[in-house]
Amino acid sequence: MSAARYAVFGQPIAHSQSPHIHAAFARAQGIALDYRAIEASPQEFAAALEAFAAEGGVGANVTLPHKEAAFALCATTTSRAHRAGAVNTLLRKGDGWHGDNTDGIGLVRDLTGRHGLDLRGRRVLLLGAGGAARGIAPALLDAGILELVVANRSPARADALVDAMAEPGRAISAYWEDLREQGDFELVINATSAGRDKDAAFQLPLSLVNSLTTAVDLNYGGAAIAFLAWARAAGCRNSFDGLGMLVEQAAESFRLWHGVRPDTDAVYAELRERASTLVTAD
Residue ranges at the known binding site for shikimate: 16-18, 63, 88, 103, 220, 249
> Which residues in this chain contact ligand ATR in the complex, by CB under 6 A?
64, 128-133, 152-154, 157, 192-194
198 has catalytic annotation: no
Between CA 268 and CA 183 the distance in angstroms is 34
State the binding site: 16-18, 63, 88, 103, 128-132, 218, 220, 242, 249
Instruction: Supply the minimum distance, in Å, between the C-beta of residue 185 and ligand ATR.
Output: 17
What is the secondary structure of 209-266 as a DSSP string? EEEEEEEEES--BGGGHHHHHHHHHTT-SEEE-THHHHHHHHHHHHHHHHSSPPP-HH
Closer by beta carbon to ligand ATR, 89 or else 152: 152
Nearest residue (CB) to ligand ATR, 44 versus 159: 159
Closest-approach residue to ligand ATR (CB): 130
Is the Cβ of residue 227 or residue 257 nearer to ligand ATR in the bound state?
Answer: 227
| Nearest approach, Cβ of residue 12 and ligand ATR (Å) | 13
Distance CA 83, CA 78 (A): 9
Of 67, 83, 123, 258, the catalytic one is 67
Min dist. Cβ of residue 69 to ligand ATR (A): 12
Rg (CA), the chain: 18
Q: How far is the CB of 129 from ligand ATR (least distance, A)?
A: 5
Give yes or no for a contact between 191 and 132, defined as CB atoms under 8 angstroms apart: yes
**8 A C-beta contact, residue 18 and residue 282:** yes
- Given a contact cutoff of 8 angstroms between Cβ atoms, the answer to whether 55 and 19 are in contact is no
In the sheet that holds 185-190, the strands lie side by side as 171-175, 147-152, 123-127, 185-190, 209-217, 238-240
> Any residues with CB less than 8 A from the CB of 16 and at least 6 apart, and which?
8, 10, 37, 63, 281, 282
**Annotation: binding site for NADP(+):** 128-132, 218, 242
Instruction: Choose between 151 and 236: whose C-beta lies nearer to ligand ATR.
Output: 151
The residues annotated with a catalytic role in the active site are 67
